[in-house]
Amino acid sequence: MKHKEQVLYIVGALILAGVLYFGFDNYPSSTKALEKSRALNAKEYDLASYGAEAKAGLKEEDTKHLETLEAQLHHTNEDSVKTELQKQLSGYWFQLKDPIMAGLYAGEVASREGTATAWAIAGTTYASGLSKDLEQKKKVFLREQAIAAFENAISLDPGAIDHRVNQALCYIEFPLADEPMKGIQMLVELSNKYPDSAVPPFHLARLAVQTGQYERAQTRIEQALALDPTNARAACLGIEIYTALNKHEEAKALEAVCAG
């Protein structure tokens, strides 16, 4: 399944973090009301009700391909075949840039397979829509589904930090109205709880860069590089940070690792 490569959220680091430090008072009141009321009904976005809306406006060949896969899914009784068809449907919807439909089918696969990996893929599929220009209620749905999927992955594989980091990144990408700092707080807690993992400090460094806090970013990226000195992404981020701080010798020392 291509999702693992295409939407691995922890690797992609789809973070737009400035909102976490500035402009909390301007958080849309409509979004606060939406989150508090819990009026968002999951049935509005189930495969049966949302599928027809999602297909509206698609090219004829795309609609025909989807309907062919759906017909095959409807007529098979073999679990393995159903799972494979659901994966294909999820992947095709992902290519069509519809994270809700892609996520719904990925969730069906995860429910059938019952593995941490399958739930993590479902989570990353939903989370891929959090940076898109979608209406608020869709993004609330995507965030809640992603968080729930990662929670399932955590329950099945509690020792893996990746699922916990991905969950924190969901809150960072689309913050809660009443807890806008929740994602950052989760990353800090993970950094303390898993001191041997370079992943939380790497993302904390990225967040600091996004908000122009380069000295804080330096502290975090040095922590990450000390734990994983051969990580090319961390090295490239380190070069960006050192360059901004006019520490050119330190930046140059990371060039070979960054080049990979």
For residue 210, give the CATH number of its domain: 1.25.40.10
Q: Could you tell me if 213 and 176 lie in one domain? A: no
pLDDT of 18 > 90? The answer is no
Q: Could you tell me if 186 and 218 lie in one domain? A: no
| pLDDT given at position 57 | 86
Q: Could you tell me if 12 and 134 lie in one domain? A: yes
Q: Could you tell me if 104 and 21 lie in one domain? A: yes
Contact 153, 111 (CB under 8 A): no
Q: Using a CB cutoff of 8 Å and minimum separation of 24, what contacts does 255-258 make? A: 257/229, 257/230, 257/231, 257/232, 258/232
Mean predicted confidence (pLDDT) in 70-92: 97
* pLDDT > 90: percent of the chain: 80
Kindly report the average pLDDT of the chain as a whole number. 87
Rounded to whole angstroms, what are the CA distances from 57 to 17, 134, 195, 257? 33, 16, 49, 46
| pLDDT given at position 260 | 84
Higher pLDDT pick, 117 / 45: 117
Contact 31, 136 (CB under 8 A): yes
Number of domains in the chain: 2
Q: Could you tell me if 122 and 250 lie in one domain? A: no
Which one of 191, 218, 239 terminates a domain?
A: 191
pLDDT of 37 > 80? The answer is no
Mean predicted confidence (pLDDT) in 216-245: 98
Mean predicted confidence (pLDDT) in 228-238: 97
Q: Could you tell me if 105 and 137 lie in one domain? A: yes
Q: Could you tell me if 85 and 213 lie in one domain? A: no
Residues 6+ apart with CB under 8 A from 28: 136
| pLDDT given at position 49 | 86
Q: Could you tell me if 185 and 207 lie in one domain? A: no
Q: Could you tell me if 15 and 143 lie in one domain? A: yes
The pTM assigned to this predicted structure is 0.83
Residue length of the chain: 260
Q: Is the dihedral of CA 79, 83, 89, 92 positive or negative?
A: negative
pLDDT digits (tens, 9 = 90+) for 114-126: 999 999 999 999 9
Token pair, residue 244, equals 């901004």
pLDDT digits (tens, 9 = 90+) for 88-105: 999 999 999 999 999 999
* pLDDT > 70: percent of the chain: 83
Mean predicted confidence (pLDDT) in 104-113: 97
Token pair, residue 6, equals 């295409």
pLDDT classification of 42: cutoffs 50, 70, 90: low
pLDDT classification of 140: cutoffs 50, 70, 90: very high
Token pair, residue 139, equals 């993004």
pLDDT classification of 13: cutoffs 50, 70, 90: very low
Which one of 191, 218, 241 terminates a domain?
A: 191
Of 173, 139, 128, 156, nearest in space to 16 by CA: 173
Token pair, residue 70, equals 């759906």
Which one of 191, 223, 247 terminates a domain?
A: 191
Mean predicted confidence (pLDDT) in 57-76: 96
pLDDT classification of 200: cutoffs 50, 70, 90: very high
| pLDDT given at position 11 | 38
Domain extent, residue 256, equals 195-260
Q: Could you tell me if 101 and 207 lie in one domain? A: no
CA distance linking residue 10 with residue 175, whole number of Å: 17
Q: Could you tell me if 75 and 200 lie in one domain? A: no
Q: Could you tell me if 187 and 199 lie in one domain? A: no
pLDDT of 197 > 60? The answer is yes
pLDDT of 23 > 70? The answer is no
